[in-house]
Amino acid sequence: MSDFTSNFWSIFVAGITLVGILACLALLWVTARKKVAAGSDNTTGHIWDEDLREMNNPLPQWWMWLFVLTIVFSLLYLVAFPGLGAYPGQLGWTSAGDYKEEVADANQELAPLYAHFSGKPAQELAGNAQAYAVGEHLFMNNCAQCHGSDARGFKGFPNLTDGDWLHGGTPQKIVETLTQGRSGNMPAMAAAVGSPEDVKNVANYVLSLSGAPHDSLRAQLGKSKFGVCAACHGVGGKGNQALGAPNLSDDIWLHGFGEQAIINMVNNGKVSVMPGQAGKLSDAQIHVLAAYVWGLSNKAVAKP
């Protein structure tokens, strides 16, 4: 690891870059001075396709000087911009800085638009066609990668259109989720539940809570063992939004359905992370995006 924390690689990359540029210059100089013996007809003697002869004409001067100019330009570029290992360049340009400037310019340009939405409740914005279009654009750029373009989610990524919320679906809670992010942790509970048979019984009891197909005898045996799960999910498995514990009685399965899926969850646990958007989106953008997301599960109220 010492090689990666020293300046060796920086010097190595800079050296390779400079050697490559100088090698091009040396190649140009050598080829310009090299004389090829030519016949009386000014050819090199090479013939292709029976009648295509290679002439011994020198390179055009304009081509030579254009090549030299590109080499000079490359050296000047490496002085002004980063390119020689860790050398930052005289202009101090960075892609991160350029990105921040572009974001700042875009935010300044869009500020009047978001100011128009500021202070308006999510319920009103969800029914505003302009706010809806802006929110949809924000969703597609920042949320659709996980939740899907239709917001119906995938395995491990919640469906945002069904009204089932781990941490609450009010506009305020959605803003909180978007701003801070969420970290869900279902610990492995196999040791607390008991034997593998006990885990299987609990899995069938969990299935029975939502009326899913299950073994009724195993479900009856697993009810008493479910007590270790009730600390988070509640006695009736209704969940706890304060903890982000899912409702186990609504037949909505975030990480897979069926006996084996539940057994795997009890045995192995699960960690899920929803990244916070506070450093990526402004408060005004989060406000509009939250209104759009709220509207996805309240379409009877939100009709832009």
pLDDT exceeds 90 at position 59 = no
- What average pLDDT does range 4-10 have in this prediction? 77
Q: Which residue has the higher pLDDT, 237 or 303?
A: 237
pLDDT exceeds 60 at position 304 = no
Q: Which residue has the higher pLDDT, 303 or 217?
A: 217
Q: Which CATH architecture best describes the domain 100-181+275-296?
A: Orthogonal Bundle (1.10)
Give the pLDDT confidence score for residue 253 in this predicted structure.
94
User: Which residue in this structure is represented by tokens 């989720």?
Assistant: 177
pLDDT exceeds 70 at position 3 = no
User: Which residue in this structure is represented by tokens 């395995």?
Assistant: 155
- What average pLDDT does range 175-204 have in this prediction? 96
5 pLDDT band, cuts 50/70/90, is low
- What average pLDDT does range 8-20 have in this prediction? 91
Give the pLDDT confidence score for residue 63 in this predicted structure.
87
Give the pLDDT confidence score for residue 30 in this predicted structure.
84
pLDDT exceeds 90 at position 35 = no
1 pLDDT band, cuts 50/70/90, is very low
Whole-angstrom Cα distance, residue 247 to residue 252?
A: 8
Reported CATH class of domain 185-274: mainly alpha
74 exposure class (CB count in 10 Å sphere: 0-12, 13-18, 19+)? middle
Would you say 180 and 278 are in contact if contact means Cβ atoms under 8 Å apart?
yes
- What average pLDDT does range 73-101 have in this prediction? 92
- What average pLDDT does range 54-76 have in this prediction? 87
Domains 100-181+275-296 and 185-274 share a fold: yes
Query: For 219-273, how does the pLDDT look when each residue is reduced to its tens digit (9 = 90+)?
Result: 999 999 999 999 999 999 999 999 999 999 998 999 999 999 999 999 999 999 9
Per-residue H/E/C for the chain: CHHHHCCHHHHHHHHHHHHHHHHHHHHHHHHHHCCCCCCCCCEEEEEECCCEEEECCCCCHHHHHHHHHHHHHHHHHHHHCCCCCCCCCCCCCCHHHHHHHHHHHHHHHHHHHHHHHCCCCHHHHHCCHHHHHHHHHHHHHHCHHHHCCCCCCECCECCCCCCCCCCCCCHHHHHHHHHHCEEEEECCCHHHHCCHHHHHHHHHHHHHHCCCCCCHHHHHHHCCCCHHHHHHHCCCCCCECCCCECCCCCCCCCCCCCHHHHHHHHHHCEEEEECCCCCCCCHHHHHHHHHHHHHHCCCCCCCC
Q: What percent of the chain has pLDDT over 70?
A: 94
pTM: 0.72
| Domain segments of the chain as ranges | 2-32+42-80, 100-181+275-296, 185-274
Query: For 202-218, how does the pLDDT look when each residue is reduced to its tens digit (9 = 90+)?
Result: 999 999 999 999 999 99
